[in-house]
Structure 1
């Protein structure tokens, strides 16, 4: 129950509902761009990959801009897992986030199913593995494009950087668009387990569905770990942790006072479960709670 202490606040449930609504809108708009309204023609044109890529990219950029200050704007279980492994989000809160994202995706896909005539629904934008590649290759493609996305998220929302300008949401949207331009022919370019789960649940078609969970999650964990612990480690944290191992002149490890190892707010970018309702971490800036898809 201690792990769940931080969820009993109004602001937290506002954040969870924000993840639900943001994912609903993102999936509805993104999947809607895949509907082929010329399907009834004798020779229907192929899917417009640029249109689909732009719709997914701009949709996520818009949702991050709208919900980043409310929930952190994850809108993606892979990003939420990346936040957990880098200690920016507690596991208990992450479970609620992932559940909200999946429910939002199912709701968005369900709405699209209801408003689209049966003759034009097709596969409802499901992500499928190209029959010309193996499942292993599809897994690698999903890992790579999600790595690119999550690395972009961490790099553009890093509070330690002073050289950033422009919109983090737009940069994340570009990352999603690039991933789609490359990977749609291979795997449908999921990069987001919830985005794949929504239409799969509505159509009850889960063929090779595990690829769209394992690939993105592995890519997200790898990207987050490399950025946080190899490429851009927090120097303030490293400096303060060294104090734990300082020795006095006699050669013994000295007793460390609490104030000696205190960490400045935001230096570890963690979610504090002890925060009161008046200052919930989800209300902090995108630099403290990273935004992403």
Structure 2
């Protein structure tokens, strides 16, 4: 029973020292900034500019909130860490909810500040002509798979040489972030094939987390490190 309570993390709801509510605000702000700046770059139509905008937005958000919440800003990352027990279930589900709300807020602000002629390019994800929903699902699955696999490796607490690059792991705006896709879809009212932008990334993230934890195996940790309970990521140490 004690292990179940620890896995659920229900105690964090009343424990002020857990920092849960600060972390939820951080995830909200992180995804708000991601959708505002990342989706705002779509109007350029330049793939390089869009990729850089999303990458820099995520890197900036993680630098700003990583020490508070771990800087997930992506349900695929949250589910990937939650399935291997590195994030309590309740915290993880609340993260996803606040990520979605933040993404909606970011896209809403972007639309409010954009001219009507720009509304066709506010970051709504859609399948390219000729790509089937099943193919789209597979693409989203593997995009999130490699993303979460890189996150697990870069943020492994027993691998200190990667601390400096952890905020810069590749995170693009090409789907693979259900909250980012959801925010744009809600604000623009476009949900065509939207299920695949949730199911694909989340399953890909969970698969990557499980493979990293139980197949590849994380870096060898000291006894003190392996016995440590989950904590939010700090600037000098991120736990996966």
Instruction: State if a TM-score over 0.5 links the two structures.
Output: yes
1:6 has 2:6 as partner = no
Gap change, CA 1:110 and 1:269, over 3 Å in 2: farther
Deviations 1:237-293 (A, max 9, x none): 9xxxxxxxxxxxxxxxxxxxxxxxxxx45316652xxxxxxxxx2264564534xxx
Superposition deviation, residue 21 in structure 1: 0.6
Matches within 5 A, 1:168-247: 168-170=166-168, 172=169, 175-177=170-172, 189-233=174-218
Contact 2:156-2:239 within 8 A present in 1 as well: no
Task: Report the number of matched residues.
Answer: 232
- Other-structure match for 1:57: 55
- Other-structure match for 2:33: 25
Gap change, CA 1:219 and 1:21, over 3 Å in 2: same
Gap change, CA 1:49 and 1:268, over 3 Å in 2: farther
Gap change, CA 1:114 and 1:211, over 3 Å in 2: same
**Which protein has the larger Cα radius of gyration, Structure 1 or Structure 2?**
1
Matches within 5 A, 1:280-291: 281-282=231-232, 284=234, 287-290=237-240
Q: Please state whether the residue corresponding to 1:166 is helix, strand or coil.
A: helix
**Separation in structure 1 between the aligned mates of residue 144 and residue 133 of structure 2, nearest angstrom:** 16
Q: Please state whether the residue corresponding to 1:148 is helix, strand or coil.
A: helix
- Other-structure match for 1:157: 155
TM-score where L is the length of structure 1 = 0.73
Gap change, CA 1:162 and 1:93, over 3 Å in 2: closer
Structure with the larger helix share: 2
Unaligned runs of 5+ in 2: none
**Separation in structure 2 between the aligned mates of residue 91 and residue 100 of structure 1, nearest angstrom:** 14
**Separation in structure 2 between the aligned mates of residue 61 and residue 24 of structure 1, nearest angstrom:** 14
Contact 2:163-2:238 within 8 A present in 1 as well: no
Unaligned runs of 5+ in 1: 37-46, 181-188, 238-263, 272-280
Superposition deviation, residue 145 in structure 1: 1.1
TM-score where L is the length of structure 2 = 0.89
Gap change, CA 1:270 and 1:204, over 3 Å in 2: farther
Superposition deviation, residue 203 in structure 1: 1.3
